[in-house]
Amino acid sequence: MITTKDVTFSARELQMKGRLFFPENFDDSYQHEVIVVNHPTSSDFNQTSGKIYATKLAEHGFLALAYDSPYQGQSEGEPHNSELPAARTEGVMFAIDFLVTLPYVDAERVGVMGICGGGGFTINAAKIDHRIKAVAGVAAANVGDVYKLTFGPDNASLIKTLEDMGRQRTIEARGGEVKHIPVLPASQKAREAAGINDVDIEQAIDYYLTPRGQDPYAPNQFVYTSLAQDIAFDAAALADRLLTQPLELIAGGIPGGFGSYRFSYEIYQKAASEHKELTIIDGVTHYELYDQPKAVDPAIAKLVEFFGKYL
C-alpha cells in the first residue's frame, strides 16, 4: 500500500503546496528516482495529477510528487487563479529544487510529466532545465494555441482582446476589482446555449464541474488579464534545439478542441530528442485520459515502461 505526505516548499517569495507519493515498503536510506507530476490548466493536485497519475506511478514503485502551481490551488500567489506560463513552467523547476534537497532522492534520476496544459508547460520546463532526464506528456496541450483560438482566431480579434486586457490592468492598478472569467461554461446547458459542441469542452464540464472531478481548489475561473501571457506563449518554441531528453507523448485518438492530439504530433516531430515516442490510444478522448480506466491503464503502462527505461 502506498503512503503520502503533504509538503510545503519555496518558490522564491511564495510557498507551494504538494503531496509526495511513496511506493510500498519505501526505503529512505536509498536514493530513488523521482517523477514530478504537473496538473492540467485550471486544475490542482487533488484531481488527476495526484489522485490518478502520481498515485498509480507510486503503485508501480516510483516516488512521485504532485503539486499546485504558483498562483493556483493551495499554493500561494496573488491574484490567485492566474494562469502564467512563466510561473507554471518554473513551478516544475521549483518542485525539482525541493526534491533534490531530500536525502532519499537521486538528483541524477529526475523525470517529469504533465497532463493537458500542464504537459505543455512541463515540456517548456524540460527545454531549459536539464536536470530533467526524461519527460512525458499525457494529453499534452499548448495553451498558447488554445487561447489564441479562444480569443481569435484572427489577429484583429486578438489585438482587440489584448487592448481590453490592458484597460483592465489599468483599472486594477488604480485599485479596481480584479476581473475573473470562467474557464468553462457553468453547465452542459450553458454550453449548448452558447452553441459549443466540442467534445473536449463537453467532457471538461463533466470532469471539473461534477462530483467526478470537482474540487474546491479548482474553482473554474482565471484572472482575465493573466491570459494575455498565454496568448503569446508557445510550448513548441525551440523544441528542435533544446528538447533533447527522452520524450514520451501519449494522446487519445479522438481529437478535440484543446488540441492535445495535434500538439502531440507537433512536439514529436519537432523535438530534438534522440529517443522519442508518440503513443496514440485509439478510441479515447482527451478527458478520458484524466480518469477513465480504458485510457488511464494503457497510459500508465507506457509511462512505467518509459520512466523505468530512462530513469
- For the chain, the domain total comes to 1
Q: What pTM does this model have?
A: 0.96
DSSP H or E stretch at residue 295? helix 293-310
What is the per-residue pLDDT for 268?
A: 98
What is the per-residue pLDDT for 153?
A: 86
What is the per-residue pLDDT for 155?
A: 94
Q: Is pLDDT of 195 > 90? A: no
DSSP per-residue letters across 78-103: SSTT---HHHHHHHHHHHHHHHTTST
The span from the CA of 249 to the CA of 258, in Å, is 15
Mean pLDDT, range 235-243, rounded to an integer: 98
* Neighbouring residues of 172: CB distance < 8 A, sequence distance ≥ 6: 178, 179, 225
Main-chain dihedrals φ then ψ at residue 78, nearest 5 degrees: -125, 145
Residue 113: all three cell numbers together: 510529466
8 A C-beta contact, residue 247 and residue 273: yes
Is 186 contained in some domain? Answer: no
Is 160 contained in some domain? Answer: no
CATH number reported for the structural domain that contains residue 269 in this entry: 3.40.50.1820
Length reported for the chain: 311
What is the per-residue pLDDT for 181?
A: 96
Q: Which domain holds residue 15?
A: 3-147+235-310
Cα 140 versus chain centre, distance: 8
Is 69 contained in some domain? Answer: yes
* 9 strand-pairing partners: 16
Mean pLDDT, range 197-210, rounded to an integer: 93
Is 152 contained in some domain? Answer: no
Is 158 contained in some domain? Answer: no
Is 218 contained in some domain? Answer: no
What is the per-residue pLDDT for 197?
A: 87
Is 241 contained in some domain? Answer: yes
CA distances from 174 to 79, 178, 197 (A): 15, 11, 39
What is the per-residue pLDDT for 283?
A: 96
How does DSSP classify residue 197? -
Mean confidence (pLDDT) of the chain: 96
When pLDDT is cut at 50, 70 and 90, the band that residue 103 belongs to is very high
* 6 strand-pairing partners: 19
What is the per-residue pLDDT for 259?
A: 87
Query: Using alpha carbons only, what angle is made at residue 271 by residues 301 and 226, rounded to the nearest 5 degrees?
Result: 90
Q: 242-300: per-residue pLDDT in tens? A: 999 999 999 999 999 888 999 999 999 999 999 999 999 999 999 999 999 999 999 99
What is the per-residue pLDDT for 257?
A: 85
CB atoms within 10 A of CB 86: 12
Poorest-pLDDT segment among 11-25, 196-210, 224-238: 196-210
Is 135 contained in some domain? Answer: yes
